[in-house]
Amino acid sequence: MCSGESKTNYQFPGTKVGRLRAVFVAPSATVMAVLFFAPLLIIVAYSLLSRGPYGGVMHPWTPENYRRVFDPLYGQVLWRSIWIAGAATALCLILGFPLALYIARAKRHRTLLLNLVMLPFWTSFLIRIYAWMFLLRDTGLINTALQELHVISQPLPLLFNTGAVILGLVYGYLPFTVLPLYATLEKLDPELLDAAEDLGASPWSALWRVTVPLSRSGIIAGCLLVFIPCVGAYLTPDLMGGGKTVMAGNLVQNQFTTARDWPFGAAASLVLMLLVLAIMQILRRRSEELL
Amino acid sequence: MNRRIFLLSVGGGPLACTLGRERRLNVYNWENYVASSTIPNFEREFQCRVRYATYGSAEEILAKVMSGNSGWDVVFPSNSFVRPMRELALLERLDHQRLTNLDQLEARFRAPKWDPLLEWCVPYMHSATGILYSKSVSRTPLAWADLWTDSYQRRVTMLDDSAEVFGACLKRMGCSINSGDPAELKRARDMAVRQKPLLRAYLSEEVRDQVIAGDVLVAQMWAQVAQVAMDNAANLAFSFPTEGFALYADNCCILRESKHKDLAYEFLNYLLRPQVAAAIAMEMRTATANAGARQLLPEAQRRDIVLYPTAETLARGEWFEALPGRVQRIRDRYWTEIKAA
Amino acid sequence: MYAAAAYLFLYAPLAVLSVFSFNASKVAMWRGFSWEWYRSVFHNEALLEATINSLIIATVATIISTAIGTLAGYALWKKRFPLLTNSLYLSLVTPEIVTGVSLLAFFEWSFRFLHVQLGMHTVILAHISFCLAYVVIVILARLRTFDPALEEAGLDLGANEWQVFWRVTIPILLPGIVAAALLCFTVSFDDYVITSLVAGVNSETLPMRIYAMARKGVSPDVNALSLMITAGLGVFILLAGRLERR
């Protein structure tokens, strides 16, 4: 949670430590208790009840829903989701890091450049996905342009495959990496890099040895903010993937909508949440200092 | 106005009721189901304010009104949702004395399968599932079986909807679209898995523009959406598959929780007026269940066989029904298998 | 150079939208130039009202969650508070539909005693609950690079705990706070799944409107509106930045 023991134990000299802290934590703790934990308890209860005839839940209590979750079919779905989400996260990082670095190092207009990253996201996600579908389809802009230029004779299959799903996810979550990365990179002292270069480090090794390690908390925060929603994504696989693959998000979504099996949906999502938490826990151990 | 509404909503429901002297009606409908003049005219004639909103999925509305405290007065469930909503005691039993225009309905909607005495709902719009295709294809898809052939260079889509995909497979096998027989469903699943390599995608309304642009040559599609596509591209046509196809209808219902039932009855009766229903059908290109309204439509629209299939075609259609939990569970499991295949 | 490519990637779909918003045809085929959709937006009362609702909800939710999230992030940096941290993470890993359904169930259960209905207030509460985790994460990431010696210096100079927080910590945290607020606003403004479940009679938001329309094909006036909102907010932020510099 804190970066190293020295900070964890850091205390204000001569003041009553904790009074302010308790006051600061209180509103968030209240919000979480009322608006997250109480509803979550309802979901836990749902997961142990039986399916109502038309959605909703009814008695009796049963562990049956959890038994159904552990099924090789759903394991396969989950594995696929983790894989796709992992690929999207990696790509977001590769694309987002240089961008965040560029913005953080820009001499002027830093806030403007940052806002420009967020700006497209004030257009509805659905509308932007439709625009991507238009760009990528057989008669879309990219294929038409390439055909006009005689680069290709047959349209490339750009849409409705795993690649398109990953592209959609990267597009949808890129700012979620750029923002936390920017927040840490902006704070880095440029003199550190100058010092590294003075000591003979090439710009690349200075980047790799100094900038990256020092922005680790931003990198991890960015990864989490992308990976987690990607695992639960359902619209992107449906539209960009043409509904030919199913991800964990689709599975859960279906239980609450078309299948109208709320208890199973609740059980499946609780298991999914625990799994993602476990993955995060491993990441936290690895990095030793994550949040 | 919005600030006022915001304050009222923050202040809570009861406050809003005491302050709002004006008569109000809250209507929750599908998109594109009223003409631009429908609501303003009603407000003017009945001296009230209508809060009209639209939703994207039937499940969304069911989840919301299930509490019996949603605030809506009039909703428009599909035929297969009417029985569930009735059994959950969400619907108001209709007083036919107050629906004087009820006799304007087409004969087949005066005693529909899902509510033979029209005790709970008034049929509003109807449509069917068929095949939208480009006339340029070498083999005209007249049957579901055609969608399992290799004649369309993988430029075929099915709807991203388990009921519709199972419906097509089951019809192809000669079974009911509402089948709950595990053996039949298993065969239907295998059939869908066999079809998957021939498909470009499972897409719902989103495919419309791609059919118009020529990316997709053949698509399983709802007649109403297909009609809009055909209005925009002359080279498109629609067929009702020979093996049979799914029919559906959306219905007006008054919620039991409604606090504005008098006005809700007036609204239902207003929508049943032939002139009102005809204006909606004309502007939105939907198929009205109102026979009186159909008489008022221009000749070409009245005889449109995509929106209003002939009796002979309709004989092959089958209505979707609410499925029991056991069947839903099998279907969902198989649907996941199809998607994961 | 690289940054230019990245911005191109981000803006490519918007370019497509802007072309379509000037298209004379209702479907995605070019049929000539027209201002029609920009005009029709202003006659589409439902669309405008949904936009205003969305702006109100996103603004209120952003202000509240950024404020309390910043405080919590600061406190968490000082001292572990595992229960809160873990619940924030848990809220982040909850699939949207589950958050939506659980909040709906919770609101309905509590409203049985309170005699209120779903509405704008429930949407705002729901948005605060899911925005909070984003704020805390961004703030904590920013604090990770913050040197506590600065605070100690403040205290040595005789300021009290609160003064140090307000005069020293907050100004240094500001870029993080801005980033967090931006993220909140964006997430809140675009949320559909949770909003649609907890919205009531008078709280239809823009995403709800758009998803409902999507069923019958999105009309180009939505493209026009989206672009106007994006451009409008862009100009607003530009001006805010100018003022701040003064």
Please name the residues in contact with B103: beta carbons below 8 A apart, sequence gap of 6 or more: B110
Instruction: State whether residue C117 sits within 8 Å of chain A by CB.
Output: no
Q: Count of CB atoms within 10 A of residue A145's CB? A: 12
CATH of the domain at C175: 1.10.3720.10
Name the strand (E) or helix (H) holding A289. Answer: none
Q: Which two tokens stand for residue B146?
A: 């055609």
CATH of the domain at A268: 1.10.3720.10
Give pLDDT, residue A290.
Answer: 46
* Region label for B47, one of left (φ > 0), alpha (ψ between -120 and 50) or beta (otherwise): left
Q: Is B73 exposed, middle or buried (0-12, 13-18, 19+ CB in 10 A)?
A: buried
* C200-210 residues labelled b (16+ CB within 10 A) or e (exposed): bbbbbbbbbbb
Residues 247-286 of A with CB under 8 A from C: 248-249, 252-253, 256-257, 262, 265-266, 269, 272-273, 276-277, 280
| CA dist B34 → B8, B24, B276 (Å) | 27, 18, 9
Instruction: State the pairing for strand pair B245-254/B317-319.
Output: parallel
Cβ-contact C192, C208 below 8 angstroms: yes
**Would you place residue C216 in the very low, low, confident or very high pLDDT band (cuts 50, 70, 90)?**
low
Instruction: State whether residue C26 sits within 8 Å of chain B by CB.
Output: yes
Q: Determine whether the interchain pair A73/B329 forms a contact, defined as Cβ–Cβ distance below 8 Å.
A: no
Q: Which two tokens stand for residue A2?
A: 């804190």
Q: How many residues does chain C have?
A: 246
Give pLDDT, residue B158.
Answer: 96
CA distance C49 to C53: 6
Among C84, C137, C227, beta carbon nearest to A32: C84
Domain hosting A283: range is: 68-287
Q: Which two tokens stand for residue A108?
A: 């002027």
Question: In total, how many domains does chain A have?
Answer: 1
**Least Cα separation, residue A46 to chain C (angstroms):** 9
Among C82, C132, C178, beta carbon nearest to A31: C132
CA quadruple C136, C139, C141, C146: dihedral positive or negative? negative
**Would you place residue C180 in the very low, low, confident or very high pLDDT band (cuts 50, 70, 90)?**
confident
**Least Cα separation, residue B9 to chain C (angstroms):** 6
Domain hosting C157: range is: 48-215
- Cis before B40 (ω within 30): no
CA distance A234 to A215: 31
Cβ-contact B283, B36 below 8 angstroms: yes
Instruction: State whether residue B136 sits within 8 Å of chain C by CB.
Output: no
Closest CA to B336 of A268, A58, C101: A268
Instruction: State whether residue B12 sits within 8 Å of chain C by CB.
Output: yes
Touching partners of A (3+ C-beta pairs < 8 Å): B, C
Top-ranked range on mean pLDDT: pick from A106-120, A273-287, C27-41: A106-120
10-residue mean pLDDT series, chain B (341 residues): 40 42 87 90 93 82 82 93 91 94 93 94 95 94 94 92 95 95 96 94 88 92 92 92 95 94 95 96 92 93 92 94 89 92 83
CA distance B46 to B265: 12
Q: Determine whether the interchain pair A73/B336 forms a contact, defined as Cβ–Cβ distance below 8 Å.
A: yes
Does domain B128-247+315-340 fall under CATH 3.40.190.10? My reply is: yes
Q: Is residue C38 part of a domain?
A: no
Instruction: State whether residue B45 sits within 8 Å of chain C by CB.
Output: no
Cβ-contact B112, B296 below 8 angstroms: no
**E-state strands within chain C:** none
Please name the residues in contact with B133: beta carbons below 8 A apart, sequence gap of 6 or more: B140, B141, B217, B218, B219, B236, B237, B238, B239
CA distance A232 to A250: 8
CA distance A193 to A89: 27
**Least Cα separation, residue A201 to chain C (angstroms):** 23
- In chain B, what are the domain boundaries? 2-126+249-309, 128-247+315-340
Write out chain C residues lying below 8 Å of A8, CB-based: 79-80
Q: What is the DSSP letter of B30?
A: E
Q: Count of CB atoms within 10 A of residue C158's CB? A: 7
Q: Is residue C203 part of a domain?
A: yes
Tell me: pLDDT of A11 over 60.
no
Please name the residues in contact with B146: beta carbons below 8 A apart, sequence gap of 6 or more: B131, B139, B140, B218
Q: Count of CB atoms within 10 A of residue B45's CB? A: 10
Q: State the complex-level ipTM.
A: 0.83
Nearest CA in chain B to A135: B210
Give pLDDT, residue B19.
Answer: 45
Cβ-contact A17, A9 below 8 angstroms: no
CA distance A145 to C11: 18
DSSP string, A176-234: HHHHHHHHHHTTS-HHHHHHHHHTT--HHHHIIIIIHHHTHHHHHHHHHHHHHHHHT--
Cβ-contact A284, A290 below 8 angstroms: yes
Q: Determine whether the interchain pair C101/B63 forms a contact, defined as Cβ–Cβ distance below 8 Å.
A: yes
Instruction: State the pairing for strand pair B245-254/B156-158.
Output: unpaired
* B14-43 residues labelled b (16+ CB within 10 A) or e (exposed): eebeeeeeeebbbbbbbbbbbbeebbeebb
Give pLDDT, residue A56.
Answer: 77
Give pLDDT, residue B2.
Answer: 43
């007249």: which residue's tokens? B142
Closest CA to C86 of A280, B189, B243, B155: A280
Cβ-Cβ pairs closer than 8 A, A with B, add up to 93
CA distance B274 to B296: 7
Tell me: pLDDT of A134 over 90.
no
Q: Count of CB atoms within 10 A of residue B121's CB? A: 28
Among C121, C197, C217, beta carbon nearest to B228: C217
CA distance A103 to C10: 15
Residues 152-171 of B with CB under 8 A from C: none
Among C3, C125, C238, beta carbon nearest to A99: C3
| CA dist C16 → A140, B270, C164 (Å) | 11, 42, 49
Give pLDDT, residue B312.
Answer: 94
CA distance B203 to A266: 27
| Per-chain mean pLDDT for chain C | 84
CA quadruple A184, A186, A190, A191: dihedral positive or negative? negative
**Would you place residue C246 in the very low, low, confident or very high pLDDT band (cuts 50, 70, 90)?**
low
Q: Is residue A50 part of a domain?
A: no
**Whole-prediction pTM value?**
0.86
What percent helix, strand, coil does chain B show, rounded to 5?
45, 20, 35
Instruction: State whether residue A127 sits within 8 Å of chain B by CB.
Output: no
Write out chain B residues lying below 8 Å of A137, CB-based: 210, 213, 215
CA distance A125 to A168: 10
Please name the residues in contact with B321: beta carbons below 8 A apart, sequence gap of 6 or more: B80, B83, B113, B114, B178
Instruction: State whether residue C103 sits within 8 Å of chain A by CB.
Output: yes
Q: Is residue A224 part of a domain?
A: yes
Give pLDDT, residue C142.
Answer: 78
Instruction: State the pairing for strand pair B218-222/B156-158.
Output: parallel
Give pLDDT, residue B281.
Answer: 93
Summarize pLDDT for C196-211 with one digit per residue, the tens: 888 888 888 999 888 8
Tell me: pLDDT of C125 over 50.
yes
Summarize pLDDT for A18-44 with one digit per residue, the tens: 567 778 888 888 888 889 999 999 999
Q: Is residue C222 part of a domain?
A: no
Cβ-Cβ pairs closer than 8 A, A with C, add up to 286
Q: Count of CB atoms within 10 A of residue B59's CB? A: 19
Question: In total, how many domains does chain C have?
Answer: 1
Which of C1, C41, C98 best probes binding to A when mutated, by most A CB atoms within 10 angstroms?
Answer: C98
Among B63, B202, B215, beta carbon nearest to A138: B215
Instruction: State whether residue B8 sits within 8 Å of chain C by CB.
Output: yes
Q: Which of these ranges, A4-8, A182-186, A214-218, C200-204, has the smallest mean pLDDT? A: A4-8
Summarize pLDDT for C5-63 with one digit per residue, the tens: 888 888 988 888 888 888 777 666 677 787 888 888 888 888 888 999 999 999 999 99
Among B14, B30, B72, beta carbon nearest to C201: B72
Instruction: State whether residue C96 sits within 8 Å of chain B by CB.
Output: no
Question: According to CATH, what is the number of the domain B2-126+249-309?
Answer: 3.40.190.10
CA distance C93 to C108: 24
CA–centroid distance for B68 within its chain: 23
Q: Hey, which residues does B80 pair with through a beta bridge?
A: none
Q: Is residue C87 part of a domain?
A: yes
Instruction: State whether residue C141 sits within 8 Å of chain A by CB.
Output: yes
Instruction: State whether residue A126 sits within 8 Å of chain C by CB.
Output: yes
Q: Determine whether the interchain pair C216/B209 forms a contact, defined as Cβ–Cβ distance below 8 Å.
A: no
Tell me: pLDDT of A9 over 60.
no
Q: Determine whether the interchain pair C27/B212 forms a contact, defined as Cβ–Cβ distance below 8 Å.
A: yes
3-state secondary structure of B259: coil
Summarize pLDDT for C56-107 with one digit per residue, the tens: 999 999 999 999 999 998 888 877 788 888 888 888 878 888 888 889 888 8
Q: Determine whether the interchain pair C210/A13 forms a contact, defined as Cβ–Cβ distance below 8 Å.
A: no
CA–centroid distance for B268 within its chain: 18
CA distance A37 to B51: 34
